[in-house]
Amino acid sequence: MDDYLIAGDLVGGPEGDAVVERLEPYRHNTIKGNNEEYLIDFHHDAVTAAQRESQQWAFSRACHARSEGKVLDTLAALPPRVTCQAEGSTAVCMVHGSTRSSSEPLGPELDTGRLEQVLEEISESVLICGHTHQSWTFRGDAGLALNPGSVGGACNDDNRAQYAILQWEDGNWHVEHHAVAYDLTLVTRLYVDTGFVEEAGPMARAQLEGIHYADLTMGDLVHHARNLAAAAGKEASPIVADDIWEQAVDTFSWKMPPPV
């Protein structure tokens, strides 16, 4: 039996609701990612004053403002983990980051020991995860793990839409990674013409640049801001003060001009 497995991060852009609605037929095999959790927190007013007011968090506020209540309720109902099993095969476990947290990155280039640990902890023979937007396959002593990559916003220097096919054959699971080019000019127009870049601020610009270059521009911008805050002797915090954020935006090594 063929089916789709959706490993989270459906939202986090100008048309999040449309993505959720398009994937509604596959909700039974869809999990929430950290991007969904951000919007759910705003929906339930479970955010800090800094998240509600800081320039750094304008992106998440804009995404939340564009989402309807019924869509946010749908996201809140998504599980953090799904186990599925096709007839005659072994079971597959899908999480977004790791079994511990949707924000914990896993990957063979990061820590093979941690991957082995997670595979040993689960009862399923296959682990599917997302979060890093980087495609990979790992076969360890305890089982098979893979990341299918990102359909939009890959972070592995390949700006095509990426996915994986997991197939049971001859008593084993086999993985094939695929990538398909899509219209990046159309994506840029979507960000600009809908007013999303203006609403969501520099993080939207960073996301769009990251989509074009398939890199971690958003994370690099945040890292740059935190380094400036530390250099200025500011108290260590995930959210920097607005003056530091503005300085970071002005001094960041952008690869593309501001979208217009």
One-letter amino acid of 45: D
Does residue 237 or residue 222 have the better pLDDT? 222
pLDDT value for 2 = 83
Pairwise CA distance, residues 242 & 244, whole Å: 5
> Is pLDDT at 24 greater than 60 in this prediction?
yes
The answer to whether the beta carbons of residues 211 and 182 sit under 8 Å apart is no
* Judgement on whether residues 108 and 189 belong to the same structural domain of the protein: no
* Judgement on whether residues 104 and 55 belong to the same structural domain of the protein: yes
* Judgement on whether residues 150 and 21 belong to the same structural domain of the protein: yes
- Residues near 49 by beta carbon (within 8 Å), at least 6 away in sequence: none
Q: What is the pLDDT of residues 78-93, one digit of tens each?
A: 999 999 998 899 999 9
CATH of the domain at 112: 3.60.21.10
* Judgement on whether residues 110 and 233 belong to the same structural domain of the protein: no
Q: Is residue 11 part of a domain?
A: no
Average pLDDT (10-24) is 97
Pairwise CA distance, residues 187 & 193, whole Å: 10
Q: Which two tokens stand for residue 17?
A: 């609701």
In this prediction, residue 1 has a pLDDT band, given cuts at 50, 70 and 90, of low
